[in-house]
Every structure is written in C-alpha cells, then in structure tokens.
Structure 1
C-alpha cells in the first residue's frame, strides 16, 4: 500500500520481491520506498522555517515507522510476522505522533 507497487511488478525478478525491495532500502532510503502520490504537495514543498522542519522530521519518522511495520508484516514466514494486536498499537502511535504536530 505504501509503495504503489504490485507484488507482480516487472521490477521483481530473479527472486526479488516487494518485501526485499522495502527491506533493502529501509530505513536510510525510505522516501524511495514510498509512492510519491501519497505525499501531498504541501509536504514535498514546505519551506524551511522551524515549524516546517519539525513537521518534515515528524513526517519522515512516521514514514519510517509505517514502512517498518509493513516490512515486519510481510516476512515470508507467518510465524515471524508482527502480531496484529501490536500492529494496531503501533499504527495508533503513528497516528497520534502525526496529529501531535499541530500542538507545536
């Protein structure tokens, strides 16, 4: 959902898959993983004042968290995947973290 890519995308050949794609780029190149259509123009074009820098940093941290959850949920072995209760807790944490930007 975050990548905008299908598991059957042409780029996934020779035993490469969506999970490996995200895991390989994570976390240093998280913006290369994210489908840029998900990023609003406001986020991509924010100015460089203090508030916007805080907002950009929080958005980046949130994207890292979301991709980390996605990678943990897409491990090949179902037994090694993140428990859904923990996924919900983490997603609520990301939501709360994003919404707290407005308090600054």
Structure 2
C-alpha cells in the first residue's frame, strides 16, 4: 500500500522481493520507495523552506518510516518473526497518535 508495488512487480528479480525492497530502504531511503500518489499534496502546495514546512515534512517522514517498519515486520518470510496482530494494532495506534499530536 505504501510503495504502490505488487509482490509480483517486474522489478523484483534476482531474489529481490517487496519485503526486501522495503527493508533495504529503512530508514534513510524510505521516501524513495513511497508511492508518489501518497506524496502528491506536496506538488499542489507551493513548497517553502519555512520552519513549519520542515517540521511537517519531518513528521510525515517519521510516520512513513514507522509504517514501513510495521509492514516489513508483518511480511517477514518466517511466521515466527512476524509481528502479532495485537502488536500491529498497538503500533499503528502509536503512529496515529504521534502524527496527530505532532501535527498540532
């Protein structure tokens, strides 16, 4: 959902899969793998280098990193390494709460 890629995407060759694609990007390159449609609001806004804009971009990036980490954890090859659903819900609530509190 975050990358806009399907597990069967043609780009996944030579043992590269969607899980590895996302994991490799964590955390420094996450913005490079995010579906551009999710970031399209930036194109509509006149991008300024104000402190408010920098803060919002930082909040968005931290939120995306957290969501990709959850996705990577949920898609591990080994079921034992995957995050349990109850823990996923807890982590998603944390991400939501961080985003909403930081946005104020």
TM-score (norm 1): 0.89
RMSD over equivalenced CA pairs, Å? 1.7
User: In 2, distance between residues paired with 1:31 and 1:102?
Assistant: 19
Give the number of aligned pairs. 103
User: In 2, distance between residues paired with 1:73 and 1:58?
Assistant: 23
User: In 1, distance between residues paired with 2:55 and 2:103?
Assistant: 11
| Equivalent in the alignment of 2:59 | 58
Structure 1: gaps of 5 or more residues: none
TM-score (norm 2): 0.89
The CA deviation at 1:44 is 7.8
User: In 1, distance between residues paired with 2:43 and 2:56?
Assistant: 8
User: In 1, distance between residues paired with 2:71 and 2:44?
Assistant: 22
| Equivalent in the alignment of 2:20 | 20
| Equivalent in the alignment of 2:77 | 76
CA contact (8 A) 1:43 1:56 kept: no
The CA deviation at 1:60 is 0.6
Q: Which segment drifts farther, 37-46 or 2-11?
A: 37-46
- State the SS of the aligned residue for 2:76: coil
Structure 2: gaps of 5 or more residues: none
Alignment of 1:1-104 (within 5 A): 1-42=1-42, 45=45, 46-103=47-104
User: In 2, distance between residues paired with 1:102 and 1:33?
Assistant: 23
